[in-house]
C-alpha cells in the first residue's frame, strides 16, 4: 500500500460531498423566495388603498433615493457610492419597459422585502430590504397599489453599476442575506403599549432608521436590526457624516431630549438641541414632515424609551462657562469668534431653534462626531424646507475661505470648549474629507411624488 491509496480514498469520499455542497449552494443562491402573494391577483385598487400606499412611501422615503431634482418622481438615477464602486437607483415607475410596470404583487413584494427581482437578480442592500422585511402584508399591498396607480409611468433606462467584475456578481448576496438579515414581519412586543409598538414598527421597518444610525460590521452589515441589541441605533459614521445615537445616550444621543422635543425635531426638523443636517435633511424634507402627527409621536415615544449605555457614553455633559486661558487664546478660538460666534454665540449655545448649539452637540462630544463638524464647516448644510418654506438660516461653506489647518484648529477649539470632550481634529482629518466631499446644494430639494 502506497501513500497514494489513502489519498485516493479520501478524494473519492470528498468528491461527492463537494458536489452535493456545490449543488445545494447553487440551488440556494438561485432560488426564488416565497411570497405570501404568490398566485394572488392584486385586484382593483381603491382610492383609500392608494392613499395608504402613498403614506407608506413617504414613511419609507422612497422618493429620496429613487428621484432626482428636475426629474420625474421615482424615475431613478441617483448615484450611490459604495466601497466597491458606484451603483444607481433604478426606475420604479410603472413603465413596463424600464420600470416595474410588469411586476406582479408577489414580484413587488420579493423586491421590497427580500431584495430579489422577478428575474432572480439580487439587489444590493443599499435598498434597505433588511428593514423593509418588517413591513406588514397590508402595507406592501398598499404600496404596490400606489406605485401602480398613483405614480405616472416614465420611460427612462436604468444605469448600470460601476462595480467591476468579479465584485459585481450578485449571487453572493444570497449568502450575505442568510447571515446578516432577519426575515420576518414586525411582531408587536408584549408588555409595550400600542403607541410604542407603532413607533417600533415605523422606526425598524419603513423608516429604516438603522440603515444610518446603527454601527456597521466588516461586511457593511448593520450590527443590529432591532432593539433587542443595545447596538441598535447606537450611532454610526456613513457617507462623511456622523449619524448620532438615537438611544438615551446623554452625550452622543437623545438622553437630554424629552419625548416632546424628539417629536418636534421629527415634525419641524429642529428643536433647542439640534437642526437636521446631512442625509437627515433629505429624510426630513422628503419624508418626516409629510407623516401624520400620530405616527411621529409614536416614533418619538419609541425612541425616547430606548435605554442608553453609560459605559459607552460616560458621564452626562455639563455646560462649563469658564474656559482654560490657553484654549481661550488659541488660534481656533480667534477663528471661532470672528467666523462663528455671530450665529452660534460666543457661549456656543446657538439661537434655538433656528441655529443649533455647538456646546453639548453630539458632533462636539462624540469621537466620531468630528466628521460631521468637518463636513458642515467645509461644505455647509443643505436647505431645510418646512411646509414649502426654505430655511433662511443656513450653515455656509468655508471650503474656500479657511485652510485645512484653520478648520482643524477651529474645530479642536469647539470640541474642547464649554465642557465639550470630543477631542482634537487634525489637518489630515480635514484634508481627507475635503477630497472626498462636495459643497452642499444651496437649492431647496423637496422631491414631488406626483
Handedness of CA 124, 381, 241, 290 (dihedral sign): negative
Residues in the chain: 450
Q: Is 450 annotated as a binding residue?
A: no
Q: Is 340 annotated as a binding residue?
A: yes
Backbone angles phi, psi at 251, to 5 degrees: -100, -50
Judged by DSSP in three states, 80 sits in: strand
In the structure grid, which three cell numbers stand for residue 205, read together? 421597518
From 379, 388, 424, 429, select the one nearest 277 (Cα to Cα). 379
Q: Is 213 annotated as a binding residue?
A: yes
Q: Is 416 annotated as a binding residue?
A: no
Q: Is 62 annotated as a binding residue?
A: yes
| Three-state SS annotation for 55-104 | HHHHHHCHHHHHCCCCCCCCCCCCEEEECCEEEECCCCCCCCCCCCCCCC
Name residues whose C-beta falls within 8 Å of residue 414's C-beta, 6 or more positions apart in sequence: 332, 336, 340, 348, 358, 364, 373, 420, 422
d(CA 297, CA 312): 27
Q: Are 33 and 114 in contact (CB under 8 A)?
A: yes
Q: Side-chain half-sphere of 305: how many Cα atoms within 13 Å?
A: 16
Q: Is 65 annotated as a binding residue?
A: yes
Q: Is 66 annotated as a binding residue?
A: yes
Residue stretches of the annotated binding site for heme c: 62, 65-66, 209, 212-213, 340, 343-344
- Residues of the binding site: 62, 65-66, 209, 212-213, 340, 343-344
Amino acid at each position: 500500500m502506497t501513500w497514494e491509496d489513502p489519498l485516493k480514498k479520501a478524494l473519492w469520499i470528498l468528491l461527492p460531498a463537494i458536489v452535493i455542497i456545490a449543488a445545494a449552494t447553487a440551488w440556494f443562491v438561485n432560488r426564488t423566495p416565497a411570497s405570501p402573494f404568490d398566485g394572488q391577483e392584486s385586484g382593483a385598487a381603491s382610492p383609500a388603498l392608494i392613499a395608504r400606499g402613498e403614506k407608506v412611501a413617504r414613511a419609507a422615503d422612497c422618493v429620496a433615493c429613487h428621484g432626482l431634482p428636475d426629474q420625474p418622481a421615482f424615475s431613478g438615477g441617483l448615484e450611490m457610492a459604495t466601497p466597491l464602486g458606484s451603483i444607481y437607483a433604478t426606475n420604479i415607475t410603472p413603465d413596463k419597459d424600464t420600470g416595474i410596470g410588469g411586476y406582479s404583487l408577489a414580484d413587488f413584494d420579493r423586491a421590497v422585502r427580500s431584495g430579489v427581482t422577478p428575474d432572480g437578480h439580487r439587489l444590493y442592500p443599499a435598498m434597505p430590504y433588511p428593514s423593509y422585511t418588517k413591513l406588514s402584508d397590508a402595507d406592501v399591498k398598499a404600496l404596490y397599489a400606489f406605485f401602480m396607480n398613483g405614480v405616472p409611468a416614465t420611460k427612462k433606462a436604468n444605469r448600470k453599476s460601476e462595480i467591476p467584475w468579479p465584485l459585481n456578481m450578485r449571487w453572493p448576496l444570497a449568502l450575505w442575506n442568510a447571515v446578516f438579515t432577519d426575515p420576518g414581519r414586525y411582531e408587536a412586543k408584549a408588555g409595550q403599549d400600542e403607541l410604542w409598538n407603532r413607533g417600533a414598527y415605523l422606526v425598524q421597518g419603513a423608516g429604516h432608521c438603522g440603515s444610518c444610525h446603527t454601527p456597521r460590521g466588516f461586511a457593511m452589515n448593520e450590527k443590529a436590526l432591532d432593539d433587542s441589541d443595545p447596538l441598535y441605533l447606537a450611532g454610526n459614521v456613513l457617507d462623511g457624516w456622523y449619524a448620532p445615537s438615537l438611544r438615551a445616550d446623554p452625550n452622543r444621543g437623545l438622553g437630554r431630549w424629552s419625548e416632546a422635543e424628539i417629536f418636534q425635531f421629527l415634525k419641524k426638523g429642529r428643536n433647542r438641541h439640534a437642526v437636521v443636517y446631512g442625509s437627515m435633511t433629505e429624510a426630513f424634507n422628503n419624508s418626516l414632515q409629510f407623516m401624520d402627527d400620530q405616527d411621529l409621536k409614536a416614533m418619538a415615544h419609541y425612541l425616547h424609551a430606548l435605554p442608553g449605555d453609560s459605559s459607552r457614553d460616560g458621564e452626562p455633559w455639563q455646560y462649563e462657562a469658564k474656559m482654560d486661558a490657553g484654549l481661550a487664546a488659541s488660534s481656533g478660538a480667534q477663528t471661532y469668534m470672528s467666523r462663528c460666534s455671530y450665529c452660534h454665540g460666543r457661549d456656543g449655545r446657538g439661537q434655538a431653534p433656528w441655529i443649533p448649539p455647538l456646546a453639548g452637540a453630539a458632533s462636539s462630544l462624540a469621537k466620531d462626531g468630528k466628521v460631521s463638524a468637518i463636513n458642515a464647516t467645509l461644505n455647509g448644510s443643505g436647505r431645510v424646507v418646512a411646509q414649502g418654506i426654505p430655511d433662511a438660516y443656513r450653515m455656509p461653506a468655508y471650503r474656500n475661505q479657511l485652510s485645512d489647518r484653520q478648520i482643524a484648529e477651529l474645530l479642536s477649539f469647539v470640541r474642547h470648549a464649554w465642557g465639550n470632550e470630543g477631542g482634537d481634529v487634525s489637518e489630515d482629518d480635514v484634508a481627507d474629507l475635503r477630497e472626498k466631499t462636495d459643497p452642499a446644494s444651496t437649492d431647496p430639494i423637496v422631491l414631488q411624488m406626483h
